[in-house]
Homo-oligomer: A and B are copies of this chain.
């Protein structure tokens, strides 16, 4: 039995016309004699509306009840899709996660799927039925509803693909794929036809609009190929798959850039073991996400300069925390609130020497000054003035033949 998992996000089922469109898409797979398992999010807007209600009732709304509340949105969406498919003469029905069941573990609002009982769905599909399963949720071992957190329906889709050993997994959303760089910032951006899990993960700032990194990671761990497609237009999407399945001369797959970053330098920190931990632990406890970190070589062996980047909005809080931190001593706290990170991502760079040089050369030729550099196996990031982002992305897009 050839099985395809289809996932529809909140905007894809955002109103009645879109639900009709979704039903048409599902029917088109059925005409190709494929067995489809559909998993859907709540209609866009519904979840936010429900969250607002909890905020009006409590500043600390119970997380178990929060999950019961939110999960009702997917229940409604699935019933509407199934009802529309039946109207079109297809055999379909909605399945709540407790009806399979889909078992989760972990805390409310951030649980993970640990097991999916396939029996009832397989029986239903054998009779030609199209199951429409509630995304974003499951039940725990106490038979209580839990939700999977942000991007949870993607996680549902990947886990359904895993447990049903699906031949394909198509993620329908409001974008039509992953691009070489943000099309809104660079007119020459192109859709990528195939991209590896790792590249997708490294391109978080581009990729996150398409899929949450945890779901990409789940797909990678379980070796599940999935495609990202638009539910609005009939276009080829982007296939996200393992490195081995990608044959391409392209060294660099995409260029990403961030906005609203700030660079912080703690000048003249006493250089002793554990100083980095002493700086970063209180930041982490305050939910401040530190991105690039560079420690300059200590000239006299006693002092060092510690540079890192954070989101601009966290700058004031960071300054306060660093200045009242008694476990470190330093001479000066300096910052630059007008910086951006530009990255090139591509598995090709593992086997291709000279990429770093080419990147720096391309930026230098446009008189773009590099403040901080950080590298991983498949990604090189540089920090530059945020006035130069557009110019930098264009130069790199051209240099690595993505135009």
Contacts and interface: CB of A to CB of B under 8 A. Distances in A.
Interface of A: 16, 19-20, 50, 53-54, 56-58, 60-62, 64-66, 68-69, 71-73, 75-76, 78-80, 82-84, 86-87, 93-94, 96, 98-99, 143-145
Contacts of A61: 83, 87
A108 to B, nearest CB: 12
Contacts of A71: 75
B62 A82 contact: yes
13 contacts: A16-B57, A54-B80, A58-B86, A61-B87, A62-B82, A62-B86, A64-B93, A65-B79, A66-B79, A68-B96, A69-B83, A98-B98, A99-B144
A123 to B, nearest CB: 12
A142 to B, nearest CB: 10
Contacts of A78: 68
Contacts of A50: 76
A83 B56 contact: no
A96 B76 CA distance: 15
A155 to B, nearest CB: 21
A16 B60 contact: no
B87 A60 contact: yes
A94 B108 CA distance: 14
Chain B CB count within 10 A is highest, among A66, A79, A99, for: A79
Task: Determine chain A's interface SS by DSSP, over half rule.
Answer: helix
Given A56-B16, A80-B57, A68 B87 contact: no
A178 to B, nearest CB: 32
A80 B61 CA distance: 9
A384 to B, nearest CB: 46
A76 B87 contact: no
A275 to B, nearest CB: 43
Nearest to A63: B83
A117 to B, nearest CB: 12
Given A65-B80, A68-B78, 6 more contacts: A58-B87, A61-B83, A62-B87, A64-B93, A69-B75, A75-B75
Contacts of A83: 54, 57-58, 61-62, 65-66, 69
A336 to B, nearest CB: 43
A132 to B, nearest CB: 9
A351 to B, nearest CB: 52
A78 B69 CA distance: 8
A75 B16 CA distance: 22
Nearest to A86: B62
Contacts of A82: 62, 65, 68
B79 A93 contact: no
Given A20-B57, A98-B98, A76 B80 contact: no
Contacts of A57: 16, 19-20, 80, 83-84, 87
